[in-house]
Amino acid sequence: MADNTVYAALQQVTGFSDDEMSVFLTRFEEKNIRKKTTILSSGKVAKEIYFIISGCMRLYYDRDGMDISAFFFTENMFAGAYDSFTTKTKSRHFIETIEDCHCLSIDYNNLQSLYLELPKMNELIRKVLEKRFFELHQLFTSQILDSPEERYLHLLKEHPDLLQRIPQHHIATFLGVTPVSLSRIRSRVSKRP
């Protein structure tokens, strides 16, 4: 099923042996999802989670008709609304593709089967969730303690590729500022020695 690119990306993240990778891949479906596709809407239950081979997805909220970016998923990341997926409850957010995405998807029943068939899957998901918890905790802390400019500088340092790949109005809502304020921040930062 998987070509060399998919296999290499998964191997980098999972560390599975060839036999374990074969079991892993039997439960996933390979998908190509076009740019600007909504893969989860608020009020719907998440039916799948995704492993991104290439592309970018955005998790966002709608507040009074204004969408607010909360997280971006890129290559070699698991993406989705894990809370809705595991509890089978309605999601409070949306997920859309920002770029064309080549990914693997898995539904709830296949994931549960995989936990039984491949014990290492439990360890992999634990590591993924620990990493995501750390990232979200950093974002939460930054929203409370850092200025928008400090948040921008952190994004510039840690994820400069996102600033090239994601439309500026999405970056602005992610930082908690207007597009005009983001433009001013970028201008000030670019003038620094």
Please indicate, yes or no, if residue 181 is contained in any of the structural domains: yes
What is the greatest pairwise CA distance in the chain? Answer: 56
What tokens does 16 get? 């599975």
Please indicate, yes or no, if residue 72 is contained in any of the structural domains: yes
Domain hosting 179: range is 146-193
Q: Are residues 105 and 150 in the same domain?
A: no
Give the pLDDT confidence score for residue 137 in this predicted structure.
87
Whole-angstrom distance, CA of residue 15 vs CA of residue 78: 15
pLDDT in single tens digits along all 193 residues of the chain: 456 666 676 777 777 888 888 888 889 999 999 999 999 999 999 999 999 999 999 999 999 888 999 999 999 899 999 999 999 999 999 999 999 999 999 999 999 999 999 888 888 888 888 888 888 888 888 888 889 899 999 898 889 899 999 999 999 999 989 888 998 998 888 887 7
Give the pLDDT confidence score for residue 4 in this predicted structure.
65
Q: Are residues 83 and 103 in the same domain?
A: yes
Q: Are residues 108 and 158 in the same domain?
A: no
Q: Are residues 41 and 98 in the same domain?
A: yes
The answer to whether the beta carbons of residues 7 and 21 sit under 8 Å apart is yes
Q: Are residues 170 and 76 in the same domain?
A: no
Q: Are residues 124 and 49 in the same domain?
A: yes
What tokens does 76 get? 């070699």
What per-residue string of b and e applies to 163-179 under the rule 16 or more CB within 10 Å gives b?
Answer: eebbeeebbbbbbbbee
Sheet of 66-73, strands arranged across:
38-40, 94-97, 57-63, 66-73
Please indicate, yes or no, if residue 175 is contained in any of the structural domains: yes
In order of 2, 9, 34, 72, the CA distances from 5 in angstroms are 8, 6, 19, 22
H-helix or E-strand containing 40?
Answer: strand 38-40
